[in-house]
Structure formats: C-alpha cells, structure tokens
Amino acid sequence: MNKKLMAVAVAGALAAPATVLAQVQIYGRANLGFDNYSATGATAGSAQDFKARNRVFDNSSRLGFRGTEDLGGGLRAVFVIESGVNIDTGSQASQFGGANGSTGFLASRDSYAGLEGNWGRVTFGRQSIYWVQGVIAQSGANYINVDVATTGAIGRVVGPTARTSNVVAYNSPTVNGLNFTVSYAPNSEANSGGQDTNGKIYGLTGRYSGIVNAQVDYAVNDKAPVTTTTAGITTTAPTSQKNSGLKVGVGYPYAPGAQIAVVFISEKNDKIAQCAPVVAGSSCILGVGVAGFAAIGDSVKANAVIVNWEHTFGNIQALAEVGKVQKAKGCTEAATTTCDNTESTGYMVAGRYLFSKRTAAYASYNRITNKANATWDVSGGGQSSASASGGFLPATLAGADPRIIALGVIHNF
C-alpha cells in the first residue's frame, strides 16, 4: 500500500511541472546554406575589392520561449525571450568576422514581458522599432537568406534605429483590420554624472490588412549631446544628431500566397558632424564630416523605393525584388564633400521548394550596383563580408557592388 501511495505521489510531482510548462512554447528557426559573396568595383581601386569567396552562412537562426498566463477578468501576462544563434559557427561571429549584436546572448532578439487585454498590450524590453516590413515584404525576413528591402542604412544615410533595447511599447487591438504600435526608449540609463539625459528613440507603426495590406513606420533617434567635465570645466559638445525615417508600404494580395508590394523609404540625418573629446579649458574640437560625402553640420536626406513580388505555385514559391536609392541631398558641395553619385540599384530573384509548411529549400541571387560615391549593401543577419557592422559598406568601399549567390535550407519549429 505504501509503495502505491509513493508511486502516486511521485507521479503527481512529475506531472505538476508539465501543467505549468503547458503555457510555455519553445520555438525557433534554422536558416543555413552555402553561398558565394563578392563586393568588387570600389572607387578607391581593386585593392579595396572583396573578391569572390565561398561561405557557409547562417542568417537569423533563433531559439525562443514565449508564453501567457490568464490572470482573470480578461487580463493576461505575456512574455517572449528570443535569442539569435549562429549554427554555422557556434559563436557570436557572423559572416563579416565580427560580432553580430543580435546573436550569442539570451534575449539578443526581440524579448519582452507585459500585460494584455481587450484594450491592447503593453510590453517592456528589447523590441523592434522601424525594423521590419510586416507582411508587405517578407523575402529576407522569413523566406530566404537576404534581400534588398533594407530597413537600415540607405547607402550613405543611416536609418533611425532597428532592434532597440530598453523599449516600452503599446500595441493596440485590431479593429476592422487596423492596429498600431507606439514605442519609446529613453536611451539614457547608462549616462554618467554630468551628462545630458535627453536622448530618446520613439516610433509609431500603423498597419492595415484587408483588400490591401499596408504599413506605415515613423521613427526618430534623437541623440543627446555629450557633456564632459575636465579639470572642473564642464563642456557640452554639440554632437547631437537626429536620425529620422519614414516608411510607407502597400501590398496587393492578388491571389492566395501571392502579393505585389511597393515600399517607399525616406531617411534623414541631421547635424551629422561629430566633435572630438574636449580638453581642459577648451571648447568643442570639431572633427571631420563623412569622408567624400557630407561636411560638418550638414543635414542629409535620401529616398528609396522597393518593389517586392511573391507568388506560390503549388510547392514552388517565386520571389523577386528591385530597389532604387535616389541621390542624397543636403551635402555641402566642395572639393572633398558631395552628394553626387550616391544612387544605387538592387535586385533579388529567388525560388523556394516547399517540402512542408515548416521546411523549404531555396536558391537566391542578390546584387546591388552602386555609383562611385554610393555605399548601399545587403543587410540583415550580418550577411555582408565587406562591413565591420555587417549591414552597410564603409565609406572606403564606396562604389563597390555587393553580390551573393546562395543555396539554403530553412526550417521553422
């Protein structure tokens, strides 16, 4: 009898955690393959070229945990902890050799906790602002290795933000296909004594799904001036820079699994010049502008247009994309600074074979053609070998044309 009671007790103890864990979902993605990368034709000469090299790549593989708890009265607790993983290297290193900030640590991707109800959802944590296209253009985000639908730098002009730490966000309920998200990051918690704390990032995203799909994103990264105290002298260096961006996308889903979409992007960098650190008794020491592009104090702007197409024929999915970055405006035109020749054109074509709803194999071709003073690059997942940050070409590679030919497998679980 005692043995039977012990067995029942043990079974009950083992079953209890299962009841709790039933509210938690483990999910993820593995997206890997083999590609050939190059970025040749740099204006500075062939010594700057990234000649063709073969790579085994990982793009945006991830492991995540998400769950909810019913708190009663229509209120729920929600959480997501999502981490990027590099299955190709087992480290934080990405294709460009340096660290990819979206991998290698717990909560390196969108991760948050909050409360939700019929009134919407409030969350706190690391979240995307202005970063994704939603259902408007999913090729690079969800289907293959990378595409040209950038949400980062438009060549020489830098976007406002991407995946952002320390965010509070409100996501509205969906009414008649419409919903919106408001996001704010104070961006000041690491500031030390004597420094200004008025830096902030904020964004607004509106979405509509119906006869057409639409998404509008607006974001501003307002950086605080740097205040330095040396030998009792406090100096505020005018390093303040405001990066802003607007994206407007409209997609027409003309058949099941098929859509054609257009995305317009406009980004602006105010006061791009920086100041060097001050010394005792001095005022701000102006540094240089952006080599070959803008001068101290310039406010520059660039626009881009992306056209994305996807169509599913049974187990075959065809994808294509073309993008155009227009000439930047706002540069001081001088011997060493100019907005001339900052235009770029990008292309992507790809095909996927859908083994199931979760697994597909794909082949893709991406190419960006830059004019002599342009630095547009393939972005997302650190896919560029030519950039120390994995998302845009440095000024020394102006004029280089990134190209990727890839074969890959993607599995969602």
pLDDT tens-digit series, residues 102-122: 888 999 999 999 999 999 999
306, β-bridge pairs: 263, 323
Q: Within the chain, how many helices (H) and strands (E) appear? A: 1, 21
| Distant-in-sequence, close-in-space partners of 143: CB < 8 Å, separation ≥ 6 | 310, 317, 319, 350, 352, 360, 362, 410
- The pLDDT of residue 205 is 98
The pLDDT of residue 72:
95
Residue 233 has what pLDDT?
Answer: 54
Q: Is the pLDDT of residue 349 over 80?
A: yes
Region 375-386 average pLDDT: 84
The CATH code for residues 26-412 is 2.40.160.10
**Could you give the CA distance from residue 21 to residue 155 in angstroms, rounded to a whole number?**
46
* One-letter identity of residue 150: T
Residue 179 CA: distances (Å) to CA of 14, 136, 164, 215, 407: 42, 15, 21, 10, 37
Q: Enumerate residues 6+ apart whose C-beta is below 8 A from 47.
A: none
- pLDDT band of residue 241 (cuts 50, 70, 90) is confident
Whether the CB-CB separation of 296 and 283 falls below 8 Å is answered with no
Tokens in use for 385? 């070998």
Q: Residue 138 is encoded by which pair of tokens?
A: 């999913």
Return the number of other C-beta atoms located less than 10 Å from residue 67's C-beta: 16
What average pLDDT score do residues 326-338 get? Answer: 92
How do residues 142-151 score in pLDDT, each as one tens digit? 999 999 887 6
- Two structure tokens written together for 32: 């890997």
Q: Could you tell me how many residues make up the chain?
A: 413
The pTM assigned to this predicted structure is 0.87
Residue recorded with tokens 């706002």: 330
What dihedral do alpha carbons 163, 167, 173, 175 form, nearest 10°?
A: -60
| Residue 142 per-residue DSSP state | I
**Angle in degrees, CA 21, 24, 30, rounded to 5:** 125
Residue with tokens 């593995």: 30
Provide the pLDDT for residue 194. Answer: 67
Task: Show Cβ contacts of residue 282 under 8 Å, excluding neighbours closer than 6 positions.
Answer: 235
pLDDT in tens, 50-103: 999 999 999 999 999 999 999 999 999 999 999 999 999 998 888 888 888 788
3-state class (DSSP) for residue 347: strand
Look at the block and give the residue holding tokens 């990008």. Answer: 346
pLDDT, average across residues 191-214: 88
69 within 8 A of 21, measured Cβ to Cβ: no
- Which residues of 95-144 form beta strands (DSSP E)? 111-117, 120-128
Return the residue matching tokens 């990819």.
100
Query: Which DSSP string do the residues of 293-329 spell out, in sequence order?
Result: S--TT--EEEEEEEEEEEEEETTEEEEEEEEEEPPPB
Alpha-carbon gap, residue 295 to 269, rounded angstroms: 12
Average pLDDT over every residue of 377-388? 80
* Distance (Å, whole) CA 171 – CA 248: 19
More confident residue, 174 or 156: 174
